Structure 1
Amino acid sequence: MPSLSLALPNGVDPVSRWRNTARAHESFLRSELRSEADGPGEVRPVVLESWRRSAALHVDPDRRDSPVTLVDDALAEARATHPLRHAMPVVRRLLVDDAADAGVLVIVGDARGRILWAEGDDDLRRRAERLHLQAGADWCEDAMGTNAIGTALAVGDTVQVFGSEHYARSVQPWSCTAAPIRDPLTGHTIGVLDITGGASVVAPQSAFLVRSAVAAVEAELRLLGSTVAVPGSRLEVLGRPRGLLVHQGRSLELSLRHTELLLLLAEHPDGLPASELAWQLYEHDAAEVTVRAEMSRLRKAVPDLLSPAGQYRLRAELRTDAMDVADLLGRGDHRAAVELYRGDLLPRSAAPGVVALRYRLHGWLRNVLLQSGDGEALRRYALSPSGRDDAQIWRACLDGLAPGSPEKAEAAAVLASLDGELGLATDV
């Protein structure tokens, strides 16, 4: 592993590294470094690039915890159907059995950064749960910014993140080393292995320990004759300038137009003719030949996902995070819906069909929250990019929180500020 990728190479003082990186992190958040070609010497390139991705994704550096997207039956099903369940005895033998004595957590997640297993030191695990560093939580970079789990999946290699290198301040007391796990037959990323704890988990030998454990896991899958089931295809579109497609174990960053095409087809499983796609994609009249050209390019990128000719349709189910939010709203699980709603659906898209989907989902979520009076769900939404400037949401949040709570005082202060900007009288 190149020494520049190590968080704490031999001879580096952890205290000085933490302080220097913390100063650089605060400077970055003040936008002093985002457009510079070169970052400060205190920040490793892998970390600085991750900070820039996190900022582009509008990750909140003051986010307190990660979204929990797998609970109860959904978590049990994800574990029971994931190929890494076969390799957990190897992980436990190599890492978990000694984790309590070492004071670390051992985490195994899927290719999307969702934690499936988190085992090890009991006291550390209880502390980690305050951040939702637990089974079922989403630790991709989209959700929590720079962290070893999400960043290892983003760059496809072993990553160490030390303390103040984390993008979210709430995670900066922690350190972690992670590496992606690949299907030994296809080479596709199917998961991630991580160790989390104090500074010791980013010592140089920790990187080699995690890599060795990953090699043992992949060897076990090979010995089992792994025919790893391809995870269901998924398209992430909430709060993103363009889509992230997870297909056949691969993560593909799509262009905005290709994202729009797949999203519209996912919403119309029976398919759409070229004329209908053209109407839903373009603000003005567009020839069907334009749609056909875009579909041809998209089909080359994901040939087994799209029908070969005729009516355009998907050959397999494609789930989106927007669909998951809608399902949660339909079940009345408002808090989980807020956790998963990372922002407006493809906010940069002007395609009429996409704009209609965006307004429909946002309006549904907002109206449900206003009607429910759930103070905690309202507060979580109010703190998100979609709700932070919404005075009506903050007033409903204020009404739904317990009298005398710090959160109610916070809501009153924000509402007074918003009303002041609008020139309105405030009585809170």
Structure 2
Amino acid sequence: MDASGAGAVALLRAAHERFVTSAGRGPEVRGLVADSWRRCAAGGMRPDGGDPPPLLRPPAELDACRLTHPLAAVLPLFRDLLGPGAADDGHVFAVGDADGTLLWVEGDAQAIRRAERMRFVAGAGWAERTAGTNAPGTALRLGRPVQIVTGEHYSAAVHDWSCAAAPVRDPVTGRVVGVVDLSGGATIATPPALAAVRGAALAAEAQLARSPASVPFPGPDAAPGEMRLSALGRDHAVLEYGDHVVRLSPRHSEIVLALALVGSGMTGEQLAVDLSEREIPASTLRAEMTRLRAVLGADLLGSRPYTLLRPARTDADDVSRLLAAGRVHEALDRYRGPLLPCSEAPVVVEQRRCLEQQLRAAVLAAGDAGLLRRWVGATWGAEDTGAWAALAHTLPGGSPQRAAAAARARALAPATPAFPQLRTHAAVLQRFRS
């Protein structure tokens, strides 16, 4: 659902009202949100906003926690990447720990005062179980980037806000150590906002990886005991582990990718939401998981919850980490095409879009004619009006290639819908460059 207009906002609030006033009524929202609302209702949370999130850390304890938390080392990075945009656009950015307790909340002064009224403050607990459906809490619950807009929040007290958040993982262990969030008005309910927090989280992970206590950026070969999933530019992902190479079916590709992205266990209900906007019967999912277990073996696929029993890295992860480190040429080398291009699974569609937006923004921000030529020369960039125009601008005046690129941009402009605005995200990625 497009939540950018007043009509869409009203529809979301009406769907929320029907859900909370009609016992047993199915949520009329996208699957990720519906699943979260059900968890909140089952946990006895009040949807009217009458119970604000708890204040879990008093000032003295909060100061001590900040000093020792691993994300303290990358707070200057977050301030550099997200702080100016938040202050200029009337938003706040927040950094929380792995339990959803906010450690830092900064940004526009007026927005901070508004946030205080719903207890979106340092020390408050914004885990989903204590604050309802919200981007930082639900991102931590699912282990992946999440965007929650206006009436998608379970608590009515947050319906005037939209937010986007991404978990931050320890680059060595893969364990989630915290979350970074942008909260504010309508512009947060857009793809660039989600891409920006995801990019900031990846930049933080890249900086943590460069610290003496961490490992360097991983190469293309899997580490001992690690599985590698190749899913860019192909509908049948390839899973490699040890001496084994398995070509997965399209559905098994989606399942393994979903489990690899989370990095932790998932219930059948959570996995079903990731795989389809439509309801998947529990018996159907169990049968599919039984078939997948027969392919992989019980030593690789666990149940209750469903989980991969070895650490897994995807080729999409490699591209994202290279982008976060400012290594755009190498990222484009690794990018073999859209992630599982024919998949319509929500988790795949979201990750595919985010990765392509990150890569495109980095290519445009680099201002490098060679990178731009490679982008427009690929299938996925051949009709990118903005990239052709950028290429024409980059090439020297009087060059026949410049004239040809400008002509191609003009030819595409009338027939090609505008690509989502990525100026903010492009600026963020430009700062990643070393």
- Normalised by the length of structure 1, the TM-score is 0.49
